[in-house]
Structure 1
Amino acid sequence: MGGNGGTGADKRPNAQLGSWFERSGWSKGELARQVNRRARQMGAHHVSTDTSRVRRWLDGEQPREPIPRILSELFSERFGCVVGVEELGLRAAHRSPSVSGVDLPWAGPQTVSLISEFSRSDLMLARRGFLGTSLALSAGPALIEPMQRWLVPAPAGPAGDARPAAAPDRSKRATQLSQPELDLLEATTVMFRQWDAQCGGGLRRKAVVGQLHEVTDLLQESHPERVSKRLFKIAAELAELAGWMSYDVGLQPTAQKYFVLALHASKEAGDRPLGSYVLSSMSRQMIHLDRPDDALELIHLAQYGSRETATPRTQAMLYAMEARAYASMGQPSKVKRAVRMAEDTFADVSPGEPEPDWIRFFSEAELNAENAHSYRDLAYVAGRSPTYASLAHPVMERAVELFGKDDVHQRSYALNLIGMATVHLLQKEPEQCAALARQAIPLAKRVRSERVNTRLRKTVATASRTYEDVAEVAQLGEELSQALPETAPEAV
């Protein structure tokens, strides 16, 4: 059965769905095949869609869940932006806020419960980001307004007062966590972060989610205030990392929910800089989804919330992300100002200053990478402007040089090789583009990152369309198809 929900003779063609469908370039048969494949991945084996069913949807028939959610996900991925169920002219099923929403209560017990519930569901299902059939991306005011409550002061009283009222199970050692045990939990988070940078989000995502779930078990016990805050900080870092890994492998709704939960946990930990880092990850996701206005709102919220507590390295990272948002909006003067602020602030970084592990990734290489991508994005927004491409070139080249000496951040090295290839494309240098993209292929094979694979394929596809007669480009396309054949995504 295909999920038929429409009845009556007064159906009208679904113009909204029809518009997205026409622009997608898909045939009815291809869309039906993608819906069936995605349904199988999420365990909805009862869904069996065909060309005639797709035609009825376009004619105005309202499909039952999970079809609307699947279509929203497919079109969002196709266009690189949030395409909600309502934007497709479809009716959304009622969704439980605890599972799908981002407007969640800002209180310790609920935060613990929500992280526990969500991580458990993720571990049980782990199907393309679908937790049941109800998970959806939020954007615009529905996302920004709830996140602004991050700045609202927490209720008075120690963090320990916010623990669940139920009597704790005294048989668990968690009630007497020692300093070495807490140190080990933090060291494990650092290790997971290194694995992500080196191997991509697809290799250890489930392990991170599992560790996060274990920490929420600890948080349901009674602890002294300092221990509770430290556990919330660990939970926030793990939730952010689970979100980042989900984002890296293409599970966008799942990533967003983890980011939101991480922000809640960072508030319980009383760690404003960590919260600003979580917001920067959310901003990066919004840029990826072509929502630069939302990205900018999130970055400004992060900057305002941590202006008195963030280190120069964190502030520089936020300025660099602000530049990325302005670049996607096509505002060159604001891009240049933010890039300059990022560079000037980074110059204030003291090598010996103690900093949390989560910000250590923002090195000179990363600073150059972000600023180069800002200029590169400006070039595209400005109609493939050679002026901005020339600004991007030396900065991206420096990022590639620095990442080439780094054995840990292999995904960043791959992404910047691809970024350098796109700069050469903008400068109408197909041979150089092919050479850089070819260097990225073995890295892409080693790093389990859908972002790397997608960007590499898009860059090579663009080069092939534009320079199909250039031998190096034609050969590159064949090499890529053999090295990274497109297959159905795996559950992670």
Structure 2
Amino acid sequence: MGGSGGSGANAEKRPNDMLTSWFVRSGWSKGELARQVNRRARQLGAHHISTDTSRVRRWLDGENPREPIPRILSELFSERFGCVVAVEDLGLRPTHRTPASSGVDLPWTGPQTVALMSEFSRSDLMLARRGFLGASLVLSAGPALIEPMQRWLVPSPSTPQEEPEPVASRRPARLSEPELDLLESTTVMFRQWDAQCGGGLRRKAVVGQLHEVTDLLQEPQSEATAKRLFKVAGELAELAGWMSYDVGLQPTAQKYFVLALHAAKEAGEKPLGSYILSSMSRQMIHLGRPDDALELIHLAQYGSRDCAGPRTQAMLYAMEARAYASMGQPGKCKRAVRMAEDTFADAEDFGEPEPDWIRFFSEAELNGENAHSFRDLAYVAGRSPAYASLAEPVMDRAVQLFEKDQEHQRSYALNLIGKATVHLLQREPEQSTVLAGQALDIAKKVRSERVNTRLRKTVDTAVRDFGDVAEVVEITERLAIEMPETVEAV
């Protein structure tokens, strides 16, 4: 049991009630938790870790395990419950973390941003497996996340950039206009692949392209070329974060989002920065942190109010509504929904071309987000039929529009699942299983753990509430056969 002992074995111990509470709710046995800890430790290269049931019992009795055990437990419980479960939440002593290891409190300077993007993308490509940075990378939330992100709006000091020394192996210093155009068009192609096929199919290709762009940024470039390269790097890092989020790599996703925001600042792209913050906000909603999500959205709105187009502003209002819904604030949620609808209506008459990264926010996406806000209000209000009835027609419209859209198959599946949950709220399990079956057909074609997880949760809810209905039994059996759950769900 080397490496998993307590640091204060001789000190008086008290039972760890906080860890015990999470452990009991997880449904795991002591042996299962020990096996998961050992498996994760091996992934991290900590082969000296060998945990058993007696060691787990000692943790529950109050023993403080040494690193990396606390962070492994934090990751395992966070994944189990779909929210951030910090080391402190488990009643374990937090270890001091440097800004670099916390993942988000980074220096806002161009050269360091490039170096960090290069180092992180290289590590991702080399190790390219789930939890690859688990020993040094953790999710940030609360003030530890929000306060560093607020520095996005602080003007950068106007100091002359230092020219890196030329190296014989470097490429030519000047990029041609066609080469820059090709880099930008490749990013558009990657974004289309993600929407159509899910984050699991091309994530490594996006990370590889990001690493190539950071190589270019380390060469001497003109100021105009450097800004375009930082913009490409910001879009690629955001997409790498989004794909990581889609396949369940939450700490990795957050780190990419933060690096993307730094690159967007270097590019002088406030609208892109607001889009990146909206992705971070969506992740926080997914992880059960709507307060953090709302802070991030308000930061995005404040930073881009005078420069983002109506489609981007409408998307931010829709995400604001999602946060308010999860917080159980119906009045503010409905107001944000109306603002999203009104602002989106202005997008049709907007005379300027909008960036490709916001093209996904269509009428279908608007309806889907607003329907999910009403659906979430229904759950927070104790399965309110009134909010479920508000969600139904809006969700119907979203599904109808996505059905005609072959490019955004993942969004189609997510909205089918959303509609299925609305029918469960309305106590209509038969209709819900039809939609779940349609979503299952799509889920088998796209590589998105987010789709798979939501589908499984929806079917689990149907089983819990309507387990004796024949259609529910049938979809449960079909799901088990056609989408068997792996030992380690991401």
Instruction: Identify whether the pair has TM-score above 0.5, normalized to the shorter chain.
Output: yes
Structure 2 segments unaligned to the other structure (5+ residues): none
User: How far off its partner does 1:171 sit?
Assistant: 5.1
Q: State the partner residue of 1:376.
A: 375
User: How far off its partner does 1:222 sit?
Assistant: 1.2
Checking the alignment, whether the CA contact within 8 Å between 1:411 and 1:443 is kept in structure 2 is yes
Range with bigger deviation, 87-96 or 465-474: 87-96
* Partner SS for 2:164: coil
User: How far off its partner does 1:129 sit?
Assistant: 3.2
Aligned 1:25-424 pairs, distance under 5 A: 25-131=27-133, 133-156=135-158, 161-162=160-161, 164-169=162-167, 172-350=170-348, 353-424=352-423
Within 1, Cα distance between the matches of 2:334 and 2:107? 38
Checking the alignment, whether the CA contact within 8 Å between 2:164 and 2:219 is kept in structure 1 is no
User: How far off its partner does 1:93 sit?
Assistant: 3.8
* Partner SS for 2:299: helix
Within 2, Cα distance between the matches of 1:488 and 1:122? 23
After superposition, the C-alpha distances for 1:310-331 in whole angstroms (9 at most, x for unaligned) are 0000000000000000000001
After superposition, the C-alpha distances for 1:293-318 in whole angstroms (9 at most, x for unaligned) are 11000000000000000000000000
After superposition, the C-alpha distances for 1:342-366 in whole angstroms (9 at most, x for unaligned) are 0000000137641111000000000
Range with bigger deviation, 442-451 or 127-136: 127-136
Within 2, Cα distance between the matches of 1:180 and 1:171? 23
Q: State the partner residue of 2:441.
A: 442
Within 2, Cα distance between the matches of 1:115 and 1:178? 23
Range with bigger deviation, 1-10 or 256-265: 1-10
After superposition, the C-alpha distances for 1:45-77 in whole angstroms (9 at most, x for unaligned) are 332222111101111222222211111011111
Size of the alignment, in residue pairs?
A: 487
Within 2, Cα distance between the matches of 1:85 and 1:285? 20
Q: State the partner residue of 2:473.
A: 474
Within 1, Cα distance between the matches of 2:93 and 2:176? 51
Query: Which amino acid is 1:458 matched to?
Result: K
Range with bigger deviation, 76-85 or 33-42: 33-42
After superposition, the C-alpha distances for 1:167-195 in whole angstroms (9 at most, x for unaligned) are 13365335111111111111111111111
Range with bigger deviation, 97-106 or 303-312: 97-106
Range with bigger deviation, 119-128 or 274-283: 119-128
* Partner SS for 1:175: coil
After superposition, the C-alpha distances for 1:398-425 in whole angstroms (9 at most, x for unaligned) are 1111111111111101100000000000
After superposition, the C-alpha distances for 1:245-290 in whole angstroms (9 at most, x for unaligned) are 1101111111111111110100000000000000000000010011
Range with bigger deviation, 120-129 or 147-156: 120-129
* Partner SS for 1:45: coil
After superposition, the C-alpha distances for 1:3-60 in whole angstroms (9 at most, x for unaligned) are 1134115122222211211222222122122222322333333322221111011112
Checking the alignment, whether the CA contact within 8 Å between 1:98 and 1:114 is kept in structure 2 is no
Range with bigger deviation, 98-107 or 480-489: 98-107
Within 1, Cα distance between the matches of 2:489 and 2:224? 40
Checking the alignment, whether the CA contact within 8 Å between 2:43 and 2:131 is kept in structure 1 is no
After superposition, the C-alpha distances for 1:209-232 in whole angstroms (9 at most, x for unaligned) are 111111111111111111000000
Checking the alignment, whether the CA contact within 8 Å between 1:129 and 1:252 is kept in structure 2 is no
* CA separation of 1:25 and 1:174: change in aligned 2, threshold 3 A: farther
User: How far off its partner does 1:92 sit?
Assistant: 3.6
User: How far off its partner does 1:155 sit?
Assistant: 1.6
Within 2, Cα distance between the matches of 1:118 and 1:149? 21
Checking the alignment, whether the CA contact within 8 Å between 1:115 and 1:213 is kept in structure 2 is yes
Checking the alignment, whether the CA contact within 8 Å between 1:81 and 1:288 is kept in structure 2 is yes
* Partner SS for 2:200: coil
Checking the alignment, whether the CA contact within 8 Å between 1:69 and 1:136 is kept in structure 2 is yes
Within 2, Cα distance between the matches of 1:90 and 1:165? 46
User: How far off its partner does 1:119 sit?
Assistant: 1.1
Give the alignment's Cα RMSD to 1 decimal: 1.6
Query: Which amino acid is 2:449 matched to?
Result: E
* CA separation of 1:287 and 1:46: change in aligned 2, threshold 3 A: same
Checking the alignment, whether the CA contact within 8 Å between 2:330 and 2:377 is kept in structure 1 is yes
* CA separation of 1:171 and 1:420: change in aligned 2, threshold 3 A: same
Query: Which amino acid is 1:257 matched to?
Result: K
Within 2, Cα distance between the matches of 1:17 and 1:237? 39
Within 1, Cα distance between the matches of 2:127 and 2:49? 17
Q: State the partner residue of 2:5.
A: 4
After superposition, the C-alpha distances for 1:120-157 in whole angstroms (9 at most, x for unaligned) are 11122233234150111111111101100100112225
Within 2, Cα distance between the matches of 1:360 and 1:268? 23
Within 1, Cα distance between the matches of 2:5 and 2:198? 39
Range with bigger deviation, 111-120 or 26-35: 26-35
TM-score, scaled relative to structure 1: 0.96
TM-score, scaled relative to structure 2: 0.96
Within 1, Cα distance between the matches of 2:190 and 2:410? 14
Range with bigger deviation, 134-143 or 73-82: 73-82
User: How far off its partner does 1:94 sit?
Assistant: 4.1
Within 1, Cα distance between the matches of 2:176 and 2:404? 39
Checking the alignment, whether the CA contact within 8 Å between 1:195 and 1:204 is kept in structure 2 is yes
Checking the alignment, whether the CA contact within 8 Å between 2:43 and 2:132 is kept in structure 1 is no
* Partner SS for 2:173: helix
Within 2, Cα distance between the matches of 1:175 and 1:216? 14
Q: State the partner residue of 2:487.
A: 488
Query: Which amino acid is 1:11 matched to?
Result: K
Within 2, Cα distance between the matches of 1:170 and 1:341? 55
Within 2, Cα distance between the matches of 1:5 and 1:117? 33
User: How far off its partner does 1:91 sit?
Assistant: 2.9
Within 2, Cα distance between the matches of 1:343 and 1:8? 63
User: How far off its partner does 1:97 sit?
Assistant: 2.5
Query: Which amino acid is 2:48 matched to?
Result: H
